[in-house]
Structure 1
Amino acid sequence: MVLVVDVGNTRIKCAVYELDILKATFVFTENEVENNLKNILISYPKVTDLIVSSVAKALTFDLQTISNDLNIHFVSNLDSFPFENKYTTPKTLGVDRMILAAGATLLFPGKNRLIIDAGTCVTYDFVDEYDNYWGGAISPGLRLRYASLHQFTAKLPLLSLEEPSGIVGNSTNQSIHSGVVNGLICEIDGFIERFKQQNENFTIILTGGDAVFLAKRLKNTIFANSNFLLESLNQFFQYKIKND
């Protein structure tokens, strides 16, 4: 068994896999991580490998202290990936984006793939049908958009995510909801349409914490999986075993 850990900007997500079979998923904060990982390992004593992807600061404790028997691997850009990296600044490419690209490459062979990760930021990553990774785009996620409107203006309130009443907001709050939510939906649909115009044989993957909220509002048919990064971590681990 393998325990995969995604250390994000706001939350830590984990999953236990037995080969390709998902056994359980967990979500918690950084303050809860040490005790929760220990409890997961107690519940799943057959876990032998721990794979960590982190876009945030490093964990505040030594992972080896939770178990002496674990094989621990922190994914980095020094690892071998199942795609050719064409990014012009490969050392600055986030590990989370590389893992998502690896998962798309392994799970959707022979396709042009656009991976959209809708979390704190929205990232777009493109892997062509020949397994070349070209890069993509980064923009603010839903909560960052709400926060920036409040932080960088004098009077706009800080709102939580809410379904807009329509495209035309009839109050300040509804205008903010329309601008934030409909604005991101139009952005994502626009990116998808541009990529479709340039590429055939196309697969679109939507993941991240806001994937479920956004998926039913987009006009394009997409593969939505909020746990795709965890699944990709497991696929990357299986790839690493076979190719090391």
Structure 2
Amino acid sequence: MVLTIDIGNTRIKGAVFEKNTVLEFFVFDKKDLEKKIEKILEKFEKVTDLVVASVGNVGKEAFLNFNNDVKVCFLSNEDHFPFKNNYATPKTLGIDRMVLASGATLQYPNQNRLVVDAGTCITYDFVDENDNYLGGAISPGLRLRYEALHNYTAKLPLLMFEEPKSYIGNSTPESMHSGVVNGFVYEIDGFIDQYRAHYSNFIIILTGGDALFLAKRLKNTIFANSNFLLESLNQTFQYKINND
């Protein structure tokens, strides 16, 4: 069994896999990391490997206590991946984006793939049908957009996410909801349209915390899987041990 851990900017997500079958998913705060992993390992005694991808401020030292119980694999951009990395600055490419590109490459061979990860930030990652990683885009996610409106203006309130009643906001809060949420959706649809105009044989994978919300609103046909990163972590680890 394999325990995969995704340390993001906001939360930690985990999953236990028996080969490619998910046994259970977990979500918890960074302050609970050690206790939560201890409980998971107690429940799933057959876990032999703990695979970590981190873009948050949690490093390898946080997992030292588990080295006696399981093999800890902390994935980095120095590892071998199933695609050719054509990013101009490959060492700056986040491990989360590399794992998503890896999962897309392994799950959907011989296709052009765009992975859209809607979390704290929205990331777009494109791997062509010849397994070349070409890059993508990064922009603020929903929460960051609301925070920016409040933090960089004098009078706009800090709002929590709320689906707009109409695209025409008839109050300041409704105008903010319309701008943030509709702008979010239009941006993603616009990027997808650009890729579709230049590439055929195309699949779009939508993931991240806001994936299910977005899936109902995007005009483009997509494959939505909010746990795609955790699944990709497991697949990338299997690829690593079979190709090292």
Quickly name the TM-score band, shorter chain normalised.
over 0.9
Q: Which runs of structure 2 are paired with 1:1-244 in the superposition (5 Å)?
A: 1-59=1-59, 62-66=62-66, 68-244=68-244
Distance in 2 between residues matched to 1:64 and 1:70, nearest whole Å: 10
Identical pairs, percent: 63
Distance in 2 between residues matched to 1:26 and 1:69, nearest whole Å: 20
Q: SS in structure 1 opposite 2:209?
A: coil
Distance in 2 between residues matched to 1:60 and 1:5, nearest whole Å: 12
Letter matched to residue 197 of structure 1: A
Q: SS in structure 1 opposite 2:161?
A: coil
Distance in 1 between residues matched to 2:168 and 2:37, nearest whole Å: 46
CA contact (8 A) 2:66 2:72 kept: no
Q: Deviations over 1:122-141 (max 9, x none)?
A: 00000000000000000000
**Structure 1, unaligned runs of 5 or more:** none
CA contact (8 A) 2:60 2:74 kept: no
Distance in 2 between residues matched to 1:176 and 1:123, nearest whole Å: 23
**Structure 2, unaligned runs of 5 or more:** none
Distance in 1 between residues matched to 2:59 and 2:98, nearest whole Å: 20
Displacement, 1:65?
Answer: 1.1
Q: SS in structure 2 opposite 1:23?
A: strand
- Using the size of structure 1 for normalisation, the TM-score is 0.98
CA contact (8 A) 1:34 1:66 kept: no
Distance in 1 between residues matched to 2:32 and 2:60, nearest whole Å: 11
- Using the size of structure 2 for normalisation, the TM-score is 0.98
RMSD: 1.0
Distance in 2 between residues matched to 1:53 and 1:64, nearest whole Å: 15
Question: Which runs of structure 1 show a deviation greater than 3 angstroms over 4 or more consecutive aligned residues?
Answer: 59-62
CA contact (8 A) 2:118 2:207 kept: yes
CA contact (8 A) 1:111 1:201 kept: yes
Letter matched to residue 242 of structure 1: N
Letter matched to residue 154 of structure 1: A
Displacement, 1:67?
Answer: 5.2
Distance in 2 between residues matched to 1:157 and 1:219, nearest whole Å: 30
Displacement, 1:60?
Answer: 8.3
